[in-house]
Amino acid sequence: MKPNQTLSALQCGRYRLPVADASHRPLVMGILNVTPDSFSDGGRHASLELAITHAENMIAEGVDLIDIGGESTRPGAPAVSVEEELRRVMPVIFALRDCGRPLSVDTRRLAVMRAAIDAGVDMINDIDAFRCEGALSLLSDSDSALCIMHMQGEPQSMQQAPHYEDVVAEVSAFLAERIDAALKAGIARQRLCIDPGFGFGKTLGHNLALLQHIGSMQTALNVPLLAGLSRKSMIGQLTGRPIEKRMAGSLAAALLAAQQGAKIVRVHDVAETVDAMKVWHASTQTNRKNENP
């Protein structure tokens, strides 16, 4: 495709997901953490049975993609071994790969990426932007989509005084460089999406600036943007609510991201987000019809 041609769909493994047509609402990616220590729901879905039940519930609630994570990347989270991450995620992938929804795996480890791709996952979601040696080469030989995220620092230390001269420009430049690296590795633009990394080495001010510029970033980089704001510390800072009471703030953030043009929102509360997106989208469609009778 031509460099400035608007993408009509994200090629996500076995699925083509609409990302340009205004007749479609933003896609909802449901979070399935199979970790004992994730910041929001650590341990709640750590067993295979509980993980499958949660995935089935999200499907019934209208989820568009399911993102499986076996390593907590909350600020200060300790690293887990590759073997432990594989032990956590692979049984879930095998159990869900025919569930009728695209499966994403949230990992930055090459061995986990390889095993997940071999098992048939549709997207790799990498907080480290596929910078580990061999990652882009591995993905170039698959048909999985890539979600390229920006993070300043490492999860253990990323929230210790993050600093930018211009957060929007710097995050955009980083994502542009990683998109270029993927294209040079032979990965089609139709397989790429980006995530500005809300909360990953950013202050509240940085996060709000990025939220306000989602549309311009997405247009400039010409790939769909995924916004992950659900229950994050910025919601807590703005509302004063603990993690378990951040649903309303998270819904507001998801709607603001959609209004700014985000094509995918990554959330914990699937049913509520799907309902909110349906109402918002119906309103935007009505406005378009009134403007163009």
Active site residue ranges: 232, 266
Whole-angstrom Cα Rg for the chain? 18
Angle at 48 between CA 82 and CA 269, to 5 degrees: 95
Q: Where are the alpha helices (DSSP H) in 104-246?
A: 110-118, 135-140, 167-184, 204-212, 214-221, 233-239
Q: Which residues, other chains included, contact 85 with Cβ-Cβ below 8 Å and sequence gap of 6+? A: 70, 71, 107, 109, 112
Q: How would you class 118 by CB atoms within 10 Å of its CB: exposed for 0-12, middle for 13-18, buried for 19 or more?
A: exposed
